[in-house]
Structure 1
Amino acid sequence: MGALATIASALALSACATTGSSGDTASASAKSDDKAFAATPAGEPVFASTYKPFPNIATALTGATVYDGKGGKIENGTVFFSGGKIVAVGGPDTPIPADIAVFDGTGKFVTPGIIDIHSHLGDYPSPGVQAHSDGNEATAPTTPEVWAEHSVWPQDPGFSRALANGGVTALQILPGSANLMGGRSVTLKNVPARTVQGMKFPGAPYSMKMACGENPKRVYGSKGRMPSTRMGNLAVNRETWLGAIDYANDPKAKRDLGKETLVGVLKGEILIQNHCYRADEMALVLDMAKEMGYKVAAFHHAVEAYKIGDLLRENDVCSAIWADWYGFKMESYDGILENAAFLQREGACVVIHSDDQNDIQRLNQEAAKAQAAGLRLGMDIPDATVIQWLTFNAAKAMGIDKMTGSLEVGKMADVVLWNGDPLSVYSRPEKVWIDGALMFDAMNPKIRPVSDFELGQPGEGDVK
């Protein structure tokens, strides 16, 4: 860890040397009429969010069954939000002001907005054609310099479908898994916008996508280059991390976008989201993380996570998993339907993710399938806990749990009113609020946002 202690000071010196922010630039400018050019110094905000909440009004939902996203359940509950924030959550006696919008939720259910920790919407948008395939920079085994947001197409109709059909209010867009280090992710608010920066979740940390196992060794081994084996995967990763540590400790290093991302991980500013199927490989990744001094936020897909639930709990690592995808390649053969249930029994963090433009529209049903698989083995997991798999746990693994993911006073009013039990195949969102703004209303055709791509098609948009 001694090598990492000087990262912050080394980066500051590196930024000065790279951008000409020292006195050298000023003296050079004084001697010449030439204009001095300098990039934004490393560490300063670039591609900043321009997201602004949509207009909202004070609103109360009353009489519904409320799941707070952290394992709590309130019958005949009340949720009151104003100014884009949750103001009160409680029972029928919860005071609410007069003259505000009140929706009767009798017989209905309220949850926090659903959060998908693993999506490729915008990077692999619909329609799925080669011209839109922008999720994998499969030109080198490590590409930490690329950012998923620079491929996001905001017009992807998948965004509005995830909102309307799945109650998804926030989602993390990840690069693909061809590479050992695929680049930075971006967390988005699921709102219509002309630019990706208009969707970018304010204050959300970046993550870096990593992958182990079959994908990188197949992609690059087939090109006759390293890695072509699992031991090659680990070797390339370790060499890359060592290079990042050297970069951080070299005050004269030339600015390197990839190493900037890696140093951000080592400093704890950028999270790690790691595609990994097999239990033995997850354990090796945790060893590598300890060696290099970073933390894994979540293993994604993690079909064998049930084998090491105790290890994942002890290392405070979430498992972002499917309910029942398995057997489609060798490393997924040991996937079982009870994966989530066994992890929950061990006290490990469970997240249900999509990795698919269709599954993102029914994550509530995927969670219910995983719950049912556990029940068949005698593990009766409460509904309120299962909702947590889709809300707070996802927010935790994405580093946004202080802002959203649960119905708590002061958090963003990202709220879904369901027309029935959200864990029933027959239920769907009736209304969805993001930062207190009503973004979808199944009862009002004028509040059903659609992508620009769909405007003009029969039945979509306000077509005369």
Structure 2
Amino acid sequence: MKKAFEKPGALLWSHGLTYALKRHRSQLMLLALLLAGTGASAQSTFPTNGIAEPKEGCYAFTHATIVRDAQNTIANATLVIRDGKITDLGPAAAIPKDAVVVDCKGKYIYPSFVDIYSGYGMGDAKKGGFAWNAAPQFLSNTKGAYGWNQAIKSETDAVKLFNTDPSKAAPLRGAGFGTVLTHQQDGIARGTAALVTLADERENTVILREKAAAAFSFDKGTSTQNYPSSLMGVIALLRQSFLDGQWYKNRPAKEGVNLSLQAWNDNLQLPQIFAVTDKWEAVRADKIGDEFGVQYIIKGAGNEYQRMNEMAATKATFILPVNFPSAIDVEDPADARFVALADMKHWEMAPTEPAAFEKANIPFCLTAADLKDVKQFLANVRKAIEYGLTEQKALEALTKTPATLLKAYDKVGSLEPGKLANFLITSGPVFKENSVLLQNWVQGNKYVIKNDGWNDLRGTYAVTLSNGNTYTVEIKGSPDKPQLSVLGKDTLSGKIDITDKLVVLNLPQSKGSNAGLRLNGLIGQNQWMGTGVDSSNSSLKWTAVLSKPYQEKSDSTRKKHAPQVGELLYPFNGYGWDKLPQQQDILIKNATVWTNEKDGKLENTDVLIRGGKIAQIGKNLAAGNARVIDGTGKHLSAGIIDEHSHIAISKGVNEGSQSVTAEVRIADVVNPEDVNIYRQLSGGVTASHLLHGSANAIGGQSQLIKLRWGQTAEELKVAGADQFIKFALGENVKQSNWGDRNTVRFPQTRMGVEQIYMDAFTRARDYEKEGPGKRRDLELDALVEILHSKRFITCHSYVQSEINMLMHVADAFQFHVNTFTHILEGYKVADKMKAHGAGAGTFADWWAYKMEVQDAIPQNAGLMSQVGVVTAINSDDAEMARRLNQEAAKSIKYTGMSEEDALKMVTLNPARLLHVDNRMGSIKVGKDADLVLWSDDPLSIYAKAEKTLVDGIVEFDRDYDLQLRQRIAAERSRLISKMLNEKKKGGQVEKAAFHPDEMYHCEDLQGGHQHDVIQ
């Protein structure tokens, strides 16, 4: 005792004060011993080594403000718990005689929070022995009667893996959580999740529900299996697993047992939780669920606020993380120029996400998942409240909503008799800035979060010294971190240090002076008292009496206005719309109109657009109420159609893990926010055929889109268009340049490629003949569609021998190849292509970039056209697509092709190849108003697309683009200034980083990246 006070400024205690202190500490020790027996009764199934001492903890927490749930608060009430459960609560709750009474005057009691997305107690998933130089793994290496793909882990049960972990439970309890839903966060289908409390007890006593939910994601996790290697492969695997599960219910006896599919079916009865990493993944997950009658609970990524209409359309409940990004360190201008405006805007707007969900009336929970430090959880929830989330909805999102979703509201989520004694004791309203979370009781077990602050000592005190001097002292701050000021002519900042009932005060006596009073003593019920020294080191005694209790400012005076943030843009980058453009009637006057029809070029001609269609073509047309665009001296053409494109695709253009992946669909992974959509609109492109890559013989299904900038993936898709699929020949298919580890997948020769096709279509024919009850195979479904001309082939090709081979295979199975793309040796086999009915999509003058193209010539397109093959010039490259008009013009130079025929190679001809020439590709009454107004002859290198229209909507306007650049500069300047100010205030910042968007080519396995700043 004495040693504790042998420090500068300390005094020897008087005998009376020492006795009081000893008595006080004895009482504390006694209370601690009483509180030790707070657990539930010992389990009878466990033997006792020694004398059994069953303890039944009964406690009454009196004079508290009890927040029973988000809607009901009871003032000056008592909460009674016994044996880990709530037995009574309310103003008139009876206090049992054996209860330990805890006075909670001035305190608040809340239900402990429930986190519905956690990996608590799971440990790290065991990683396989994958190495980059290892051979491909085609089947699962999981031992046992499980499914073929080890990313489908439906059989995994969290309850079998769960171990209590006091070191991980403590910070979660410190954030206010008493219960979590935990699962092994590994794989696409992750199995079941267990609902557990955060008590430091045996596993069997903390598990509330063994199988409370099933979990899914788009991440294959620790699987070392090659398939799937892309997002579209993941989605295809999910879709096939649903179908296999349905089939397995009535499987033939020869199929035997598949524990993965059995678990898949069993788990469908549980709440289904799907974790995503992006707002568009949320839409994709919901779409899969809708396809199979499953409503997912979606664990979001934090950027869903950018598309709230789409989030509402899912009809899902969301789990929202609060891992708001830190400000970016943009002090160095060289760093700042590489930070995308979208990243800056996300930093500013991310805290608005929970409020956006509340405003949209979309149910949601809050989670501590994804936080680097769970200690930030409450601070971030308070930040979300600052940005518009109501406290009531915040509490509901942490209690009732998750508990109800998990069908556990009878146990947790509110304070009611019969429920678990899971509750928080706080110094004030839990979401107020200065409130302190003092204790978290879980299953009747007390866990101290902060000892400091239990007694709120804030207020104004009259301090009287034994020498007759008096001082007025004000204590503010928070209960756990009080701040002291000496009031007078000048308000002087002092120091206060409180440990239990002991207090040390340092009171300055004049401004700028270090000399002052140094006091220590004991905090009593009615007054403080002790001894100390003055500035001359003379001993004195002192007392302090509370003269005015501290009062929190009312909500009306404390409430801050929500911070001002920038506006949402669609898409969420600098070139997005603040409001999506609407279709309108438009009259383009006095232009040179390239019709691509028998009328050819029409000088000084008007084109009237109504309802997104071309309504009239002629001279001196009446505008009526239509917007008039002056086309004098300008050229109007049909929009450019890129027959071979890889823009607007998310997370992989190739599912190259197998030789046949006809089941995967580009439609599943369309990325409507790819800035290349906007860039290509600036080059006159209005439609793109999005193709799978060329990594395998039969790749994925294609998707035709219109470049409707700002719309959703579904709205980009061309409804009713014929469906296509990507085939490939040559070096990529046989993995010629894939390295030494890729010498296992069949085929490895061009001869083998032919056998892959023969085998695939033979299997498809046999599959079609199978009777009722067959297992539906999505891969073979697509091939059967080809056999019946319901799906059409676009084939990557170079060498004439392989081109001939595929046409022979097609003849043998009585289908035809719709389009040979690349086809740089097409001029050698153009007559055979014409006879077969195949068209061509090619490059104007690419050659010598690999062995297969040594015989390429720039006359290729012109020669094929002369033979009568429908020929298009395509890009296979996001940059080239912006100049397809110039690529088409090259055939005028090399083969003397007419200007109109050259333009058709990027307009009408690709429309014919894609079977949409009845809607696109020319300027004709009744066709879609997909048009480009050029500043010059569209085949000139000087021509600029001044306006690009899609369905009669001006999607690109060069004059407006200049305004957008000014807007971007102003918005970047505003946000950089705001981030610099955040750093100046001491806020957390992160290092500037460049986050390039995805950009793919045919041969990309992992994807390329763009190398300029995306606004």
Following superposition, the deviation at residue 356 of structure 1 comes to: 0.3
Is this contact kept in 1: 2:597–2:924, CA < 8 A? no
Is this contact kept in 2: 1:324–1:370, CA < 8 A? no
Aligned partner of 1:408 among 919, 924, 946: 924
Is this contact kept in 1: 2:709–2:955, CA < 8 A? no
1:172 matched to 2:689? The reply is yes
Aligned partner of 1:384 among 877, 890, 900: 900
In the alignment, the residues of structure 2 paired with residue 104 and residue 393 of structure 1 have an alpha-carbon distance, to the nearest angstrom, of: 28
Is this contact kept in 2: 1:456–1:463, CA < 8 A? no
* 2:535 corresponding residue in structure 1: none
1:131-150 mapped onto 2 (5 Å cutoff): 134-150=652-668
Aligned partner of 1:100 among 620, 626, 631: 626
1:58 matched to 2:585? The reply is yes
Q: Percent identity among equivalent residues? A: 34
Is this contact kept in 2: 1:135–1:151, CA < 8 A? no
In the alignment, the residues of structure 2 paired with residue 268 and residue 257 of structure 1 have an alpha-carbon distance, to the nearest angstrom, of: 17
Greater relative contact order structure (CA < 8 Å, 6+ sep): 1
1:216 matched to 2:216? The reply is no
Following superposition, the deviation at residue 317 of structure 1 comes to: 1.6
In the alignment, the residues of structure 1 paired with residue 709 and residue 859 of structure 2 have an alpha-carbon distance, to the nearest angstrom, of: 37
RMSD: 3.1
Deviations 1:8-58 (A, max 9, x none): xxxxxxxx99969xxxxxxxxxxxxx98xx9959xxxxxxxx9xx952221
* 1:234 corresponding residue in structure 2: 754
* 2:708 corresponding residue in structure 1: 191
**Distance change >3 Å, CA 374–CA 157, structure 1 → 2:** same
1:14-93 mapped onto 2 (5 Å cutoff): 55-70=582-597, 72-90=600-618, 92=619
Aligned partner of 1:122 among 648, 651, 669: 648
* 1:431 corresponding residue in structure 2: 947
Following superposition, the deviation at residue 218 of structure 1 comes to: 1.9
TM (normalized to structure 1)? 0.81
* 2:573 corresponding residue in structure 1: none
In the alignment, the residues of structure 1 paired with residue 752 and residue 963 of structure 2 have an alpha-carbon distance, to the nearest angstrom, of: 52
In the alignment, the residues of structure 1 paired with residue 636 and residue 834 of structure 2 have an alpha-carbon distance, to the nearest angstrom, of: 29
Question: Secondary structure at the residue paired with 2:881?
Answer: helix
Structure 2 letter corresponding to 1:363: L
* 2:934 corresponding residue in structure 1: 418
Aligned partner of 1:110 among 620, 636, 652: 636
Is this contact kept in 1: 2:585–2:625, CA < 8 A? no
* 1:328 corresponding residue in structure 2: 849
* 2:769 corresponding residue in structure 1: 249
Is this contact kept in 1: 2:816–2:837, CA < 8 A? no
Is this contact kept in 1: 2:658–2:745, CA < 8 A? no
In the alignment, the residues of structure 1 paired with residue 714 and residue 609 of structure 2 have an alpha-carbon distance, to the nearest angstrom, of: 26
Following superposition, the deviation at residue 203 of structure 1 comes to: 1.4
Question: Secondary structure at the residue paired with 1:209?
Answer: strand
Following superposition, the deviation at residue 315 of structure 1 comes to: 2.5
Between 200-209 and 413-422, the greater mean CA deviation after superposition? 200-209
In the alignment, the residues of structure 2 paired with residue 152 and residue 392 of structure 1 have an alpha-carbon distance, to the nearest angstrom, of: 24
TM (normalized to structure 2)? 0.38
Following superposition, the deviation at residue 294 of structure 1 comes to: 1.7
Question: Secondary structure at the residue paired with 1:282?
Answer: helix
In the alignment, the residues of structure 2 paired with residue 462 and residue 156 of structure 1 have an alpha-carbon distance, to the nearest angstrom, of: 24
Deviations 1:61-98 (A, max 9, x none): 222211113462222222211111111224x25x4343
Deviations 1:119-170 (A, max 9, x none): 11123xxxxxxxx650111111111011113333222111110011x11111
In the alignment, the residues of structure 2 paired with residue 456 and residue 56 of structure 1 have an alpha-carbon distance, to the nearest angstrom, of: 24
Q: Structure 2: which 5+ runs fail to align?
A: 1-242, 248-267, 270-288, 293-313, 315-579, 976-1015
Question: Secondary structure at the residue paired with 2:901?
Answer: helix
Following superposition, the deviation at residue 382 of structure 1 comes to: 1.6
Following superposition, the deviation at residue 394 of structure 1 comes to: 0.5
Choose between structure 1 and 2: higher strand proportion. Answer: 2
In the alignment, the residues of structure 2 paired with residue 96 and residue 289 of structure 1 have an alpha-carbon distance, to the nearest angstrom, of: 52
Question: Secondary structure at the residue paired with 1:139?
Answer: coil
The higher radius of gyration belongs to: 2
* 2:881 corresponding residue in structure 1: 360
* 2:915 corresponding residue in structure 1: 399
Question: Secondary structure at the residue paired with 1:79?
Answer: strand
Between 171-180 and 132-141, the greater mean CA deviation after superposition? 132-141
In the alignment, the residues of structure 2 paired with residue 58 and residue 441 of structure 1 have an alpha-carbon distance, to the nearest angstrom, of: 16
**Distance change >3 Å, CA 293–CA 456, structure 1 → 2:** farther
* 2:30 corresponding residue in structure 1: none
Question: Secondary structure at the residue paired with 2:927?
Answer: coil
In the alignment, the residues of structure 2 paired with residue 288 and residue 174 of structure 1 have an alpha-carbon distance, to the nearest angstrom, of: 22
Is this contact kept in 2: 1:61–1:79, CA < 8 A? yes
In the alignment, the residues of structure 2 paired with residue 88 and residue 383 of structure 1 have an alpha-carbon distance, to the nearest angstrom, of: 24
Deviations 1:267-296 (A, max 9, x none): 211111000111222122111111112221
Counting matched residue pairs gives 408
Q: Structure 1: which 5+ runs fail to align?
A: 1-15, 21-33, 42-49, 124-131, 376-380
In the alignment, the residues of structure 2 paired with residue 312 and residue 70 of structure 1 have an alpha-carbon distance, to the nearest angstrom, of: 25
Aligned partner of 1:286 among 785, 793, 807: 807
Deviations 1:322-373 (A, max 9, x none): 1111111111111101111111221221100000010011000111112211
In the alignment, the residues of structure 2 paired with residue 391 and residue 70 of structure 1 have an alpha-carbon distance, to the nearest angstrom, of: 12
Structure 2 letter corresponding to 1:240: A
* 1:163 corresponding residue in structure 2: 681
Structure 2 letter corresponding to 1:150: D
In the alignment, the residues of structure 1 paired with residue 246 and residue 787 of structure 2 have an alpha-carbon distance, to the nearest angstrom, of: 22
Following superposition, the deviation at residue 205 of structure 1 comes to: 2.1
Following superposition, the deviation at residue 457 of structure 1 comes to: 5.7
Is this contact kept in 1: 2:597–2:922, CA < 8 A? yes
Question: Secondary structure at the residue paired with 2:959?
Answer: coil
Question: Secondary structure at the residue paired with 1:69?
Answer: coil
**Distance change >3 Å, CA 244–CA 434, structure 1 → 2:** same
1:258 matched to 2:779? The reply is yes
Is this contact kept in 2: 1:440–1:447, CA < 8 A? no
Question: Secondary structure at the residue paired with 1:110?
Answer: strand
Structure 1 letter corresponding to 2:702: S
**Distance change >3 Å, CA 418–CA 235, structure 1 → 2:** same
In the alignment, the residues of structure 2 paired with residue 445 and residue 232 of structure 1 have an alpha-carbon distance, to the nearest angstrom, of: 51
Deviations 1:160-216 (A, max 9, x none): 10011x111110111110110111011111012464212111112221000011111
**Distance change >3 Å, CA 135–CA 81, structure 1 → 2:** same
Structure 2 letter corresponding to 1:155: E
Question: Secondary structure at the residue paired with 1:444?
Answer: helix
